[in-house]
Amino acid sequence: MNKGLTTVPAHFDGAQILLDVEVELKPDMRLLVIILDNEDPSNEALVWNAMKVSEAAFARVWDNEEDAVYDRL
């Protein structure tokens, strides 16, 4: 997994959040969770499109010296 922010699809099985793709996570790694409305069928495409378009933007915004202090938290 690259440094910065990575978006991956996931689902809730009723007891825990499960990632839909394989990702190496370390204990206490910080995560962001976005909850989507299951009733809206367009959300599946939204998830995959958001992941794709967010990669470059997150890399530009997050990978800079000014924010490097957060890498050490």
How do residues 28-53 score in pLDDT, each as one tens digit?
Answer: 988 888 887 777 777 778 777 877 87
* pTM to 2 decimal places: 0.48
Q: Flag whether pLDDT at 12 surpasses 80.
A: yes
* Runs of H (alpha helix) within the chain: 43-62
Kindly state whether residue 5 falls inside one of the protein's structural domains. no
What single DSSP character describes residue 12?
E
Kindly state whether residue 4 falls inside one of the protein's structural domains. no
Domain span at residue 59? 10-72
Number of domains in the chain: 1
Kindly state whether residue 19 falls inside one of the protein's structural domains. yes
